[in-house]
Amino acid sequence: MEANIFVVALAVLAFGMLAGRLQSSPLTMPIVFTTAGIVLGPGVLGIIHFDVHNETISALAEAALVVVLFTDASRMDLRKVLKEHTLALRLLGFGLPLAVLVGTGAGLLLLPTLSIAAVALLAATLAPTDAALGQAFVGNQTVPQRIRQTLNVESGLNDGLAVPFITVLLDVARHETGSALGYVGLFVSLVGIGIAVGVAVGWLGGRILEWSASRDWATDTTQRLATISLAAVAFAGSELLGGNGFVAAFSAGLVVGTSARSLLPRTTGFAEAEGQLLTLVTFLLFGTIMVIDVLGDASWRVIVYALISLFVVRPIAVAISLLGTGLSPASVGFLGWAGPRGLASIVYAVLIAETAGVPGADLVFIVAAWTILLSIYLHGLSSAPLSARYGAYTRRSRDQSSPEHQDSAGLPLRLPARGDTSR
């Protein structure tokens, strides 16, 4: 274990020293750390030894997701989202469920050994997007601001909105409740408790922290730690009461971002430092897992489904959800491609593999991991040139009053994956 920690720490140190140089290269943080995990893992150098059933990986991945769910949600002002981000609301309200449905249909055709519940679980795992994997999609200033903010808001909220799908489908796959009414009760219990705890923690905690800050009772550092601790309080409190901790962390962040906006510098500051460290290590360990548990188990069905998930499922869901918006085909195509699968999908896949009694869990994990791996490289390498080309295309457009160029409320971006600090 000490050797693993030593090597991981060296990898983080090396990236910290070279991040500035990497800004001008096509290499994103997930590409660098996933590749490092593959190379350092047992399949190549054999220096790091982790597998998907390792408790360290499970705990680290869950901690990273709790932080991301909370900090991403806290960047969103729900009032502005509901008022001005209609495109993102379409992608969240229609596009996300459609992606699950289309992905389930594709899985039933390509993965006949999996049950309907397992295939739906796979589709739900791959539905959330992670804009940080292709930062140019939201960071390139030539891309219309409304399009960038649409992707930003979608990425900030869809990982949390996918949690109820994952929660219920896990239990459906295990046949635990036995009836439709039982599944409804399970959904209401887990999600309802999670939302209630998250709202209470976010509202009360936000008020207390703002009150403390107004009286200079804490330093900037301790205020930042106290703010992020709300995510842990919400997660643990919900789990203790029988709810879903991820839903609670997400709800708490959304309430803090809407009702205690003055705390935003604390949450973004944590996300850009400690939260980024958790993400770096998660991608490195994901690369290690790929070597042990995934790379040797690829069949043509697995690879084809992974490619369909990236090139067909999301683009179809996006295109249907954006019907009637007036966006150009180029914009719809750009939004359809700009949906990398990242941290949330990794954590959900690990959670499935760790959950006992899910038939076909190993295959679900393998397919999800291949999809994520391909996304890391395909989206990471294509984001900069594609964003530049699309941005140039929209600038040449004669109609600057088109839907792409309408104003929308600017909300902070998550820290870029390559060290760029542009907003």
Encode the chain (423 residues) as per-residue pLDDT tens digits: 666 677 777 877 777 776 666 666 677 888 988 998 888 888 778 888 777 767 777 788 888 888 888 988 888 888 888 888 899 999 999 999 999 999 999 999 999 999 998 999 999 999 999 877 877 888 888 999 999 999 989 988 898 889 888 888 887 777 655 566 666 776 777 788 999 999 999 999 989 988 888 888 877 778 778 888 899 999 999 999 988 899 999 999 999 888 888 887 877 777 666 777 788 888 988 888 877 777 777 889 999 999 999 999 999 999 999 999 989 999 999 999 999 998 899 989 988 888 877 888 999 999 999 999 999 999 999 999 999 999 998 887 656 668 887 777 667 666 444 444 333
Instruction: Read off the amino acid at residue 282.
Output: T
CA dist 6 and 169 (Å) reads 38
3-state secondary structure of 50: coil
CA dist 37 and 48 (Å) reads 8
Domains in the chain, CATH or no CATH each: 68-262+298-405 (1.20.1530.20)
The continuous run of DSSP H or E covering 383 comes out as helix 361-396
Which pLDDT score, from 0 to 100, does residue 382 have? Answer: 93
φ/ψ (deg, to 5) at 118:
-65, -40
Which pLDDT score, from 0 to 100, does residue 228 have? Answer: 85
Phi-psi region of 24 (alpha: psi -120 to 50; beta: other; left: phi over 0): alpha
CA dist 266 and 258 (Å) reads 14
Which pLDDT score, from 0 to 100, does residue 420 have? Answer: 40
Residue 185 near residue 272 (C-beta atoms within 8 A): no
**H helices within 215-299, ranges in order?**
220-240, 245-259, 264-271, 274-289
Which pLDDT score, from 0 to 100, does residue 79 have? Answer: 84
Which pLDDT score, from 0 to 100, does residue 113 have? Answer: 93
CA dist 47 and 207 (Å) reads 47
CA dist 247 and 163 (Å) reads 7
Model's pTM, two decimal places? 0.88
Which pLDDT score, from 0 to 100, does residue 224 have? Answer: 79
DSSP for 175-199, written as a single string:
T-S-SHHHHHHHHHHHHHHHHHHHH
Token digits of residue 367: 């397919």
